[in-house]
Chain A
Amino acid sequence: GAGVSQTPSNKVTEKGKYVELRCDPISGHTALYWYRQSLGQGPEFLIYFQGTGAADDSGLPNDRFFAVRPEGSVSTLKIQRTERGDSAVYLCASSPSELPYNEQFFGPGTRLTVL
């Protein structure tokens, strides 16, 4: 079956611009997670959705970052006024539920480069 997909795979933008990154989770998965991974580091948690609501957004670094999941499926991570320090791979994962023993299925990521 189809796994988690993310678009675009690569995004190059200029400092100060607005970007949107899309995640299509596995069908039927209620939990969705966004992570950010800088070079040489492990993924860093950003936000977690259970259904349509953001159950935990404590990892979002500042108010330039925002994410939505309006119908409980596709999610969009939005970054306003991008900065060079936002350059990273943004990973999305989905899970059948939020239970602690459930596996997270990761997408291939979107590589964001801010010039």
Chain B
Amino acid sequence: DAKTTQPNSMESNEEEPVHLPCNHSTISGTDYIHWYRQLPSQGPEYVIHGLTSNVNNRMASLAIAEDRKSSTLILHRATLRDAAVYYCILRDTNTGNQFYFGTGTSLTVIP
């Protein structure tokens, strides 16, 4: 399975933009890039996903490098409710549809 690498932790000031990086140098052509986040004591929740093009939704934006070996989740204005662990995941249909979460990036938002 193609794996991802993320920083263990990041900090952001409230109402500032946050850029969460993810490296996935062994990504294959059939892998979708998914981002999930997990708030304390809750199950993970979907944030965004993409294949090749940049994506925007009401929660965030996903910027995918041209060679697809890295991506960045962008929170445009961090709020205290965005404090969570963010997981970058590759969805590989060739290996049984498993999600490999890794350890994610723990985001702290400073008031």
**Interface set of A (CB-CB < 8 Å, partner B):** 4, 31, 33, 35, 40-45, 48, 55-56, 58-59, 91, 93, 98-101, 103-109
Contacts and interface: CB of A to CB of B under 8 A. Distances in A.
Contact of A45 (B31, B42, B87, B98): B98
22 contacts: A31-B97, A33-B99, A35-B99, A35-B101, A40-B103, A45-B98, A56-B97, A93-B44, A98-B93, A100-B30, A100-B32, A100-B92, A100-B93, A101-B32, A101-B49, A101-B51, A104-B44, A104-B46, A104-B99, A105-B46, A106-B44, A107-B43
The B interface is mostly helix, strand or loop, or mixed, namely loop
Nearest to A43: B101
Given A58-B96, A101-B49, A44 B43 contact: no
